[in-house]
């Protein structure tokens, strides 16, 4: 069986799972559209502002749209937020003050947060500011609520959850799983702010952490909610007081969210939010198909193709650097931009290991676009994410399968990939606004 037939055979297998992805996209599209209707978005809102950005009603309206989509009180959605890490920094410094204590409930956080928090020494970290931190590891891939409760101190003022796996071997956490722990914490300690690193999770399920008790979520616009269109930006959404404190971290005390020009991004941010449910669904479809292809090649993946998704990341365990590099190189060669580039692992700001990145993207580092990356460390797990269209994912997977077969990394297993996907999946159709 050649690579092209392999991908087609896998598609036949995963088609019922793809249909479920479309159903979720429809639920999320309804919620996004309802927000546009409620806020009466008009052409004038799309114009953008310059200078200070005072009186930018289109910007304020977009932030109310986000708040509606997230089912929360307020949001800050700005091109001046340069990345997810930046958004997370704003949220953490908003929720905590010197002398207070942070608990991380989902184990070691994403690589770039180590310096932000102070788990790796940094002059501008939370720790250097006088905030102490406890990291509670996951237990068998789930939040250890008893251990999180035990880690709380009188001066604990925030608990941080990370929804997506990041560059780790742990599973991603569903909104329902987070909800369970968050509700217990809320009951015991209503004074503790519950923060969620929502990177890669937006619109993958039919609800967001803010629908089930999170006080603040943070993420990047060159991931899900940017729909592949937003050229930069990040967001913070949740409780009104926390969002305003985050705005003061971004700008200045006393100024907060009142300033911030949107001259080049306003229309695009609106358009991106409108398109995001569909764009995210495309990436999830690519993720499911890729899992099936890897499984057939005998490469261990998580999540497996039939398992539910809560983010856009597929981890594939290659076991050796050469296989990992062959995989990334094939994704690069299938990209619309820089397909001719030869990849090499290199050091990168914020990351401890050398990193290899296949990122032939229109937006630099945009990872709702089809990308593959990995820190170069055992057991050589590669992370595949994004895909603006399932068609691009399909073509890229043909190339990946071809490259891996040629490199002798995988071989095609003839047996069925998995027991078939459960028909009639229980999808919540409730319309949350
Ligand atoms: C992408 C990501 C971040 C932030 O990364 P940036 O590159 O700064 O946008 C944080 N946490 C997780 C889990 C992520 O996937």
- Average pLDDT in the 415-431 region? 36
pLDDT bucket at 185, cuts 50 / 70 / 90: very high
pLDDT bucket at 414, cuts 50 / 70 / 90: low
- Residue position matching structure tokens 């695009």: 268
If one residue of 108, 166, 196, 359 were mutated to test the ligand 1 pocket, choosing by the most ligand atoms within 8 A of its CB, it would be: 166
Distance from residue 55's CA to the centre of ligand 1 (Å): 31
pLDDT bucket at 208, cuts 50 / 70 / 90: very high
Atom of ligand 1 nearest to the CA of 220: 9
Distance from residue 233's CA to the centre of ligand 1 (Å): 12
The DSSP output letter for 232 is S
If one residue of 85, 92, 170 were mutated to test the ligand 1 pocket, choosing by the most ligand atoms within 8 A of its CB, it would be: 85
**Contact 234/86 with Cβ under 8 angstroms?**
yes
If one residue of 105, 161, 172, 223 were mutated to test the ligand 1 pocket, choosing by the most ligand atoms within 8 A of its CB, it would be: 223
pLDDT of residue 413 exceeding 80, the answer is no
Distance from residue 286's CA to the centre of ligand 1 (Å): 20
Q: Express each pLDDT in 57-66 by its tens digit.
A: 999 999 999 9
Q: What angle do CA 94, 74, 37 make, to 5 degrees?
A: 160
Query: What proportions of the chain, in percent to the nearest 5, are helix, strand and coil?
Result: 40, 15, 45
Burial of 150 (0-12, 13-18, 19+ CB in 10 A): exposed
What SS3 class is residue 254? coil
Q: Express each pLDDT in 86-96 by its tens digit.
A: 999 999 999 99
The residue contributing the CA closest to ligand 1 atom 4 is 84
Ligand 1 shell residues, CB under 6 Å: 83-85, 110, 112, 162, 164, 166, 197, 199-200, 220
CA dist., res. 162 & res. 110, Å (int): 8
What does the block give as tokens for 83?
């990345």
pLDDT bucket at 1, cuts 50 / 70 / 90: confident
Distance from residue 84's CA to the centre of ligand 1 (Å): 5
With a CB cutoff of 8 Å and minimum separation 6, the contacts of 201 are 163, 164, 172, 175, 208, 209, 219, 224, 310, 311
Atom of ligand 1 nearest to the CA of 200: 15
With a CB cutoff of 8 Å and minimum separation 6, the contacts of 5 are none
CA dist., res. 302 & res. 378, Å (int): 16
pLDDT at 29: 98
**Contact 275/224 with Cβ under 8 angstroms?**
no
Distance from residue 113's CA to the centre of ligand 1 (Å): 8
The residue contributing the CA closest to ligand 1 atom 5 is 84
Q: Which of 233, 197, 183 is nearest to 112 (CA)?
A: 197
- Average pLDDT in the 163-171 region? 85
Helices (H), 259-320: 266-296
pLDDT of residue 112 exceeding 60, the answer is yes
pLDDT at 423: 30
Q: What is the Rg, in whole angstroms, of the alpha carbon atoms belonging to the chain?
A: 21
Distance from residue 222's CA to the centre of ligand 1 (Å): 10
If one residue of 78, 79, 83, 84 were mutated to test the ligand 1 pocket, choosing by the most ligand atoms within 8 A of its CB, it would be: 84
Q: Which of 219, 215, 220 is nearest to 240 (CA)?
A: 215
CA dist., res. 196 & res. 162, Å (int): 6
Taking the model in full, what pTM does it have? Answer: 0.93
Pairing status of strand 193-197 against strand 234-238: unpaired
Distance from residue 367's CA to the centre of ligand 1 (Å): 10
Atom of ligand 1 nearest to the CA of 113: 10
Distance from residue 418's CA to the centre of ligand 1 (Å): 31
pLDDT of residue 111 exceeding 70, the answer is yes
pLDDT of residue 431 exceeding 70, the answer is no
Atom of ligand 1 nearest to the CA of 165: 13
Q: Which of 76, 334, 392 is nearest to 225 (CA)?
A: 76
What integer best gives the mean pLDDT of the chain? 93
Distance from residue 417's CA to the centre of ligand 1 (Å): 31
If one residue of 105, 164, 232 were mutated to test the ligand 1 pocket, choosing by the most ligand atoms within 8 A of its CB, it would be: 164
């Amino acid at each position: 069986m050649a690579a092209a037939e392999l991908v087609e055979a896998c598609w036949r297998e995963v088609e019922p799972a793809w249909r479920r992805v479309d159903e979720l996209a429809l639920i999320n599209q309804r919620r996004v559209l309802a927000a546009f209707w409620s806020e009466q978005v008009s052409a004038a809102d799309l114009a953008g502002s310059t200078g200070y950005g005072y009186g930018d009603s289109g910007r304020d309206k977009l932030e109310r749209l986000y708040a509606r989509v997230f089912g929360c009180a307020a949001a800050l959605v700005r091109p001046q937020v340069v990345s997810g890490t930046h958004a997370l920094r704003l949220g953490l410094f908003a929720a905590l003050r010197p002398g207070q204590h942070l608990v991380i409930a989902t184990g070691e956080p994403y690589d770039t947060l180590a310096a932000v928090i102070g788990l790796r020494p940094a002059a501008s970290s939370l720790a250097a500011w006088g905030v102490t931190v406890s990291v509670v590891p996951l237990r068998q891939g789930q939040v250890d609520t008893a251990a999180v409760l035990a880690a709380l101190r009188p001066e604990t003022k925030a608990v941080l959850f990370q929804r997506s796996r990041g560059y780790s071997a742990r599973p991603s956490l569903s909104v329902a799983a987070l909800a369970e722990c968050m509700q217990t914490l809320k009951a015991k300690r209503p004074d503790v702010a519950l923060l969620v690193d929502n990177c890669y999770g937006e619109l993958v399920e039919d609800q967001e952490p803010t629908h089930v008790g999170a006080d603040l979520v943070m993420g990047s616009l060159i991931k899900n909610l940017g729909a592949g269109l937003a050229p930069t930006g990040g967001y913070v959404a949740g409780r009104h007081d926390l969002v305003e404190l985050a705005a003061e971290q971004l700008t200045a005390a006393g100024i907060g969210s009142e300033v911030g020009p949107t001259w080049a991004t306003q229309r695009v941010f609106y358009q991106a939010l409108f398109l995001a449910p569909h764009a995210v669904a495309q990436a999830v479809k690519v993720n499911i198909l890729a899992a099936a292809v890897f499984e057939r090649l005998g490469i261990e993946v998580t999540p497996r193709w039939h398992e539910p998704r809560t983010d856009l990341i597929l981890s594939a365990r290659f076991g050796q650097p050469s296989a990992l590099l062959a995989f990334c190189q094939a994704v690069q060669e299938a990209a619309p931009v820089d397909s001719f580039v030869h990849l090499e692992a290199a050091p990168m700001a914020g990351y401890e290991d050398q990193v290899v990145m296949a990122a032939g993207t229109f937006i630099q580092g945009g990872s709702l676009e089809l990308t593959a990356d990995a820190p170069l460390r055992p057991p050589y797990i590669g992370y595949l994410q994004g895909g603006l269209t399932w068609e691009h994912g399909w073509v890229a997977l043909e190339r990946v399968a071809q490259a891996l077969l040629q490199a002798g990394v995988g071989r095609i297993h003839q047996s069925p990939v998995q027991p078939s996907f459960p028909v009639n999946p229980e999808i919540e159709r409730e319309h949350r606004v």
